[in-house]
């Protein structure tokens, strides 16, 4: 029997990644700019074009979000999504590098929101009961 709380939780958590992935596919500009900064900072010029990396990440988030939401291999989906979220959390919300207090505050909130989502994904990934 399907646990309604788990099913709803997976649906809600998965929807975050489907939406984010669609945004990345539709307009990779913001993510590509952040990726370009990181590639330059860490000497990663040999990586593929930044917009292609952002689109690949978006596609992976959509796939993981859909499979998590539908309960298809939910533990695997949650683990993959937790891993995909970390580069965004560290690079996209690096509040410690921002001098403007208001921007730093907003990015700190986003950073910790991503950590909280990661926590939920890790709980889902570790869930040993079916459905």
Confidence band, pLDDT 50/70/90 cuts, at residue 72: very high
Structure tokens at 118: 């990661």
pLDDT tier at 92, thresholds 50, 70, 90: confident
Q: Does residue 127 contact residue 6 with C-beta atoms inside 8 Å?
A: yes
Q: Does position 112 have pLDDT exceeding 90, yes or no?
A: yes
- Residue 67 has, within 13 A of its CA and on its CB side, a CA count of 18
Res. 30 pLDDT band, cuts 50 70 90? confident
Residue 100 CB-density burial (10 A; 0-12 exposed, 13-18 middle, 19+ buried): exposed
Q: Is 97 exposed, middle or buried (0-12, 13-18, 19+ CB in 10 A)?
A: exposed
Q: Does residue 99 have a pLDDT over 70?
A: yes
* Mean pLDDT, residues 40-56 taken together: 91
């Amino acid at each position: 029997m399907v646990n309604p709380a788990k099913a709803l939780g997976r649906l809600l958590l998965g929807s975050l990644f489907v939406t984010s992935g669609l945004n990345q596919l539709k307009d990779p500009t913001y993510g590509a700019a952040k990726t370009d900064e990181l590639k330059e900072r860490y000497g990663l010029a040999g990586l593929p074009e930044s917009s292609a990396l952002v689109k690949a990440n978006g596609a992976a988030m959509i796939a993981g979000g859909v499979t998590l939401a539908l309960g298809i291999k939910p533990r695997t989906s949650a683990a993959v999504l937790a891993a995909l979220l970390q580069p965004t959390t560290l690079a996209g919300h690096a509040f410690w590098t921002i001098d403007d207090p208001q921007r730093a505050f907003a990015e700190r909130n986003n950073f910790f929101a991503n950590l909280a989502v990661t926590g939920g994904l890790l709980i889902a990934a570790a869930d040993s009961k079916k459905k």
